[in-house]
């Protein structure tokens, strides 16, 4: 048995068996064998989720040997990718084809299956999360059958499985709607937080991608505005020396040193936070899209994120700003604020409403529970929905009230996995255990 830990060290498991399939047929063989013997199965990717969504003490399916693009229709922009492929590899492979994802988050370590299954998103008021870019999914169900679903083929399974938490089956391939490669211009600069909040809606509407980082105890926020450039625009990236200084030295090495100092001497966190806010620098450049979207993160942390109705963002942030000075333990990491368009995916955090995403963080090894619990209460007052891959304590009884199609998802789960082959403690907490009975087949 091999002990496995996620990226942040918040979850650890020692599965009895670790399978490394190299084809959909091998995934099916693993699942069918486990189901016959009454064992549970969980697929795992890169371990970047902060929750126990991938944990199991029974059978783990490691998708690290099932990677790469399976097929591509470049003219149509449809690319089928194997589920264990990391976003980093996918971005490189798409670039070689002259294609790109429409939107991305700022981390590319996740596998494609893990990213879509937990609702990974980027920012953009007119854009949805990664799962909205899916045209078709291929899954291995609990009985070992391999099925495909799309908007026209088994549409209910498709509506559920695009953000499925691994509870419906093991994703074997994902077909994505991509587009021709494009260049983004990036403008990053410190601005007074009050001005950022005052112009929040205007910035969200006027920019393709807008987000900001609020540094607790400081007056400034780091604001990022990324916008598409016309086809044929030549990128003007930062020079290698500037990239190294800004990202590796300042944002990783120096920031990590400040965090470690604050962990050792908590009384210094507040003045260090004010210092960090005052030392933020501006930069402007352009590059191919994924190089602008993605940021290298070497400093480890824990994170909780909630999606709230976009019109509620000011109220939530006002309460969060009032909360932070009252906490027993200071906060070392900034708060990240993003936006996304409404979608129709049943367990998407943006289902049915334009959303603002507020993510809070704490440096690894520093106390966070009081902060995270209080934030969850604040977000809960406006129906906030927790990111499925980030830390929260909510269960099915609460989440059912926040997702209009929650019971539809539970029904589909019961139909395709009546025995709970794909269950684990996290999934059972957030979805409920169900009655494990067989139902009518899906359409």
CA dist., res. 101 & res. 132, Å (int): 11
pLDDT band per the 50, 70, 90 thresholds, residue 257: confident
Is-contact 56 1, C-beta < 8 A? no
pLDDT score of 439: 37
pLDDT score of 443: 38
Mean pLDDT on 14-41: 97
pLDDT score of 248: 78
- Tokens representing 273? 């936070």
Q: Does position 435 have pLDDT exceeding 60, yes or no?
A: no
pLDDT score of 1: 61
Nearest to 313 by CA among 132, 130, 125, 118: 125
Mean pLDDT on 52-59: 95
- How would you list the strands of the sheet with 355-363, edge to edge? 283-288, 183-192, 220-228, 209-214, 335-340, 355-363, 301-309, 385-386
Give one DSSP letter per residue of 115-143, joined into a string.
HHHTT----BTT---GGGGEEEEEEE-TT
Consecutive H or E run containing 283: strand 283-288
Neighbours of 204 (CB within 10 A): 23
CA dist., res. 5 & res. 136, Å (int): 31
Q: Read off the pLDDT of residues 350-391 as tens digits, 9 standing for 90 and up.
A: 999 999 999 999 999 999 999 999 999 999 999 999 999 999
Mean pLDDT on 79-101: 98
CA dist., res. 185 & res. 226, Å (int): 6
Domains observed in the chain: 67-180 (3.30.465.10), 185-386 (3.40.462.10)
Nearest to 227 by CA among 213, 212, 243, 208: 208
Q: Does position 300 have pLDDT exceeding 70, yes or no?
A: yes
- Tokens representing 217? 């105890």
pLDDT band per the 50, 70, 90 thresholds, residue 434: low
pLDDT score of 436: 45
pLDDT band per the 50, 70, 90 thresholds, residue 246: confident
Consecutive H or E run containing 174: strand 170-177
pLDDT score of 354: 98
Rg of the chain over Cα atoms, rounded to whole angstroms, equals 21
**Rounded to 5 degrees, what are φ and ψ at 308?**
-120, 155
Q: What is the DSSP letter of 432?
A: -
CA dist., res. 135 & res. 425, Å (int): 30
Is-contact 342 229, C-beta < 8 A? no
Mean pLDDT on 18-28: 97
C-alpha dihedral sign at 415, 417, 423, 427 = negative
Q: What percent of the chain has pLDDT over 70?
A: 98
Q: What is the DSSP letter of 378?
A: H
pLDDT score of 440: 36
State the average pLDDT for the chain.
Answer: 94
- How would you list the strands of the sheet with 170-177, edge to edge? 69-73, 78-82, 170-177, 134-140, 146-150
Q: Does position 229 have pLDDT exceeding 80, yes or no?
A: yes
pLDDT score of 441: 38
Q: Does position 99 have pLDDT exceeding 90, yes or no?
A: yes
- Tell me the Ramachandran region of residue 264: left when phi exceeds 0, alpha when psi lies from -120 to 50, beta otherwise: alpha
Beta bridge partners of 61: 19, 43
**Alpha-carbon torsion, ordered 151, 152, 155, 159, to 10 deg:** 0
| Strands 17-19 vs 59-62: parallel, antiparallel or unpaired | parallel
- How would you list the strands of the sheet with 17-19, edge to edge? 17-19, 59-62, 41-44
pLDDT score of 437: 40
Q: Read off the pLDDT of residues 158-212 as tens digits, 9 standing for 90 and up.
A: 999 999 999 999 999 999 999 999 999 999 999 999 999 999 999 999 999 999 9
């Amino acid at each position: 048995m091999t002990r496995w830990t996620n990226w942040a060290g918040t979850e650890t498991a020692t599965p009895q068996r670790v399978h490394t399939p190299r084809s959909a047929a091998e995934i099916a063989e693993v699942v069918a064998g486990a189901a016959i013997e009454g064992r549970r199965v969980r697929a795992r990717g890169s371990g970047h989720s902060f929750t126990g969504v991938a944990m199991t003490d029974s059978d783990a399916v490691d998708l690290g040997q099932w990677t790469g693009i399976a097929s591509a229709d470049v003219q149509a922009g449809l690319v089928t990718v194997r589920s264990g492929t990391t976003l980093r590899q996918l971005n490189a492979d798409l670039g070689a084809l002259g294609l790109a994802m429409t939107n991305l988050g700022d981390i590319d370590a996740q596998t494609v299956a893990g990213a879509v299954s937990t609702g990974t998103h980027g920012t953009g008021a007119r854009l949805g999360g990664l799962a909205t870019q899916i045209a078709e999914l291929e899954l291995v169900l609990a009985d070992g059958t391999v099925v495909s679903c799309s908007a026209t083929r088994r549409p209910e399974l498709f509506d559920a499985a695009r953000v499925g938490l691994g509870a419906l089956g093991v994703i074997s391939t994902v077909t994505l709607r991509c587009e021709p490669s494009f260049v983004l211009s990036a403008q990053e600069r410190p601005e007074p937080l009050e001005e950022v909040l005052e112009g929040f809606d205007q910035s969200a509407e006027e920019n393709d991608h807008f987000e900001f980082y609020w540094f607790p105890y400081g007056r400034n926020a780091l604001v990022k505005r990324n916008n598409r450039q016309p086809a044929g625009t030549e990128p003007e990236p930062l020079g290698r020396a500037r990239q190294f200084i800004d990202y590796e030295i300042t944002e990783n090495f120096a920031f990590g040193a400040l965090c470690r100092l604050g962990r050792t001497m908590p009384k210094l966190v507040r003045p260090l936070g004010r210092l960090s806010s005052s030392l933020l620098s501006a930069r402007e450049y352009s590059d191919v899209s994924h190089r602008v979207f993605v940021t290298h993160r070497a400093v480890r942390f824990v994170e909780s994120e909630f999606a709230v109705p976009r019109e509620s963002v000011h109220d939530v942030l006002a309460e969060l700003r009032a909360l932070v000075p009252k906490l027993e333990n200071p906060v070392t990491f900034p708060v990240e604020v993003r936006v996304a368009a409404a979608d129709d995916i049943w367990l998407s955090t943006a289902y049915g409403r334009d959303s603002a995403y507020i993510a809070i963080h704490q440096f690894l090894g520093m106390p966070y529970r009081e902060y995270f619990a209080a934030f969850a209460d604040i977000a809960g007052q406006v129906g906030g929905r927790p990111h499925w891959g980030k830390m929260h304590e909510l269960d099915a009884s609460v989440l059912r009230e926040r997702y209009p199609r929650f019971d539809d998802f539970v029904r589909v789960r019961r139909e395709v996995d009546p025995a709970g082959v794909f269950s684990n403690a996290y999934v059972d907490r957030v979805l409920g255990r169900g009655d494990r009975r067989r139902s009518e087949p899906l359409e």
